[in-house]
Amino acid sequence: MRYTKLEHRFVQYIPEQLEPGVLYISMEYATAAHNCCCGCGLQVVTPFTPADWKFTFDGETVSLWPSIGNWNFPCRSHYIIRHNRIFAAERWDNDKVKAGRDKDHKLKQKYFASKGT
């Protein structure tokens, strides 16, 4: 079952078994997790760091940015979570995935180099 909306729950620890349609958010561990929104049931983990995902809570809904691309999953789903709603994003071919990973790697290298780590 594809999801068009996620319920968010703030938790200290991400549970071992994730309920479908729920985005678990641990501020203490700066991480969110949910089952893939395509319905395949695989677990998606998104760490919050300046070099990874950004999390926004407006008092009622949550958003994650950038998009979530599950390139290592059989479904290869790609979507955006904005105000608890799921928006399908364009499919990426292998060349675009590689270019995106290369860009992410360079951004992370730059970020951690600026921190002296």
* 102 found inside a domain: no
pTM of the model: 0.89
Instruction: Decide if 80 is inside a domain.
Output: yes
**Structural domain contains residue 39:** yes
Establish if 52 belongs to a structural domain: yes
What are the distances in angstroms from CA 65 to CA 52, 54, 79, 116?
9, 5, 10, 25
Work out whether the CA dihedral 90, 33, 83, 38 comes out positive or negative.
positive
Q: How many domains does the chain have?
A: 1
Residue 50: asked if its preceding bond is cis (omega within 30°), the reply is no
- Predicted confidence (pLDDT) per residue in 48-77, tens digit: 988 889 999 999 999 999 999 999 999 999
Query: Which contacts qualify for 101-105: CB closer than 8 Å, 24 or more apart?
Result: 101/71, 104/51
- Residue-level pLDDT at 41: 92
Does any domain span residue 114? no
Residues in the chain with pLDDT values less than 70: 1, 117
